[in-house]
Homo-oligomer: A and B are copies of this chain.
Amino acid sequence: MYNKKKIINDPLYGFIGIPNEIVFDLISHPWIGRLRNIRQLGLTHFVYPGAVHTRFHHALGTLHLANLAIETLLSKGVAISMQEADGLRLALLLHDIGHSPYSHSLERILVKIPHETITGMAMKKLNSIFPGKLEIAQEIFHNTYPKKFLHQLVSGQLDLDRLDYLNRDSFYTGVSEGVVSFDRIIKMLNVQDGELVLEEKALYSLENFLISRRLMYWQVYLHKTVIASEQLMLKILKRAKHLIRKGNFLFSSPFLQEFLKRDIEEGEFLERPELFERFMDLDDSDIWSAIKAWTKDSDFILSTLSQSLIQRKLYHIELEDSPASHEKIEILKEKVRKAFIISEEDLDYFVFTGKTHHLAYNQSREDIFMLRKDHNPISFLEVSDFFSSTGIAVPVEKHYICYFRF
């Protein structure tokens, strides 16, 4: 009989408890285990060396927060059955199971499908493997379950996913300002008319949460060196695909090979279950070991870019409020033309522009409601004397230009 260990050490939360067998069995499943080799923040460790934590750890973290939230809501008289509690736990545990290697960095690159869709597929398959045990989890995940607040805990403006990743990413990057009082916020959760609400006295914690999130975006997730690293990896994969499709032989693991050969759209992915299986064998090591091998490839562009990444000689990047001028781009391209014999088309591997954006609070998507003493929920933006008239609900867009570091 397999020993089902009940407690897992976590640097962030102390101990994470595994409440029962079905949760244990899913944690032990290879598809979750795969996340042990997918770093939560992709290449962010190039800037913050501590940021090597994995999606596996994040999944466990959301499980822990689910335990806390269930305890709080039950203590306030919110009706949650044992089955619903497990549904919530599993929906959170599995919510990132469909991620690519390097998480968001390679989103929609290896397959042209958002990770949530792949998560949905995985949950469906797991529901066959553990017959019927994931019914509620799936409904919660897809927001078809009647108790809407359960979905809101998985995916919303103030979900447990965000609470864990903000805390965890702050912790591992060492950016202490990103720390969020997850325990206080969870203790202030409640349900009103089936919707998740926050007690009014959590107002300042909520403001702090939004500001911390904004800080984490600009200081970590959209840090210019992180963008430069990700763009470099994307260009390398683009080149590798190009070469393979031209008929060149390139080293890669047999799993990765499949996804470089040609673009896989959602339709094909759904029809061919073996593609899903293959995808579920991929982790960071396939990508990284391939790029290392490509440093010795005979294609000049592939080997040059691969060496840049492996040796962390990343693109120069400038992040500005407005796009780079045509002149500036031209000057930089001219420099490349002088250094290399290169087609106009391939110049794009060495000089290119793009943009990124962040929206601290997406009111149109879903507002956060606060519970007043009179039990009337009210939009957060109406309560805060501070945020109401501000730019928090306005997206911020930044433009970047990347160019090769000679």
Contacts and interface: CB of A to CB of B under 8 A. Distances in A.
Interface of A: 7-12, 14-15, 28, 30, 33, 36-37, 45-46, 48-50, 52-54, 56-57, 60, 171-177, 179-181, 183-184, 187, 204-205, 207-208, 211-212, 214-215, 218-219, 251, 253-255, 281, 283-286, 288-289, 292-293, 296, 310-312, 360, 385-392, 396
17 contacts: A9-B48, A9-B49, A10-B49, A10-B50, A11-B174, A28-B312, A30-B310, A30-B312, A49-B54, A50-B57, A52-B54, A207-B215, A208-B212, A214-B386, A285-B292, A389-B389, A390-B390
A284 to B, nearest CB: 7
A211 B218 contact: no
A390 B396 contact: no
Given A208-B177, A218-B204, A53 B54 contact: no
A276 B138 CA distance: 51
A56 B49 contact: yes
Contact of A52 (B7, B53, B184): B53
The 6 closest A-B pairs by CB, nearest first: A9-B174, A285-B285, A390-B390, A285-B288, A285-B289, A204-B215
B183 A9 contact: no
Contacts of A312: 28, 30, 33
Nearest to A45: B36
Nearest to A215: B204
Given A52-B53, A204-B218, A171 B391 contact: no
Given A11-B173, A311-B33, A391-B386, A289 B292 contact: no
Contacts of A48: 9
B255 A30 contact: no
Contact of A9 (B175, B205, B251, B286): B175
Nearest to A47: B9
Kindly report how many copies of this chain are found in the complex they form together: 4
B389 A37 contact: no
Contact of A50 (B53, B212, B390): B53
B253 A10 contact: no
Interface centre among A183, A212, A285, A392, by most chain B C-beta atoms within 10 angstroms, is A285
Given A11-B171, A285-B289, A387-B390, 6 more contacts: A36-B45, A52-B54, A251-B254, A283-B292, A289-B289, A389-B391
Contact of A211 (B46, B207, B292): B207
B15 A187 contact: yes
Contacts of A181: 175-177
Given A181-B176, A254-B251, A254-B293, A49 B204 contact: no
A282 to B, nearest CB: 9
A11 B311 contact: no
B45 A49 contact: no
A106 to B, nearest CB: 15
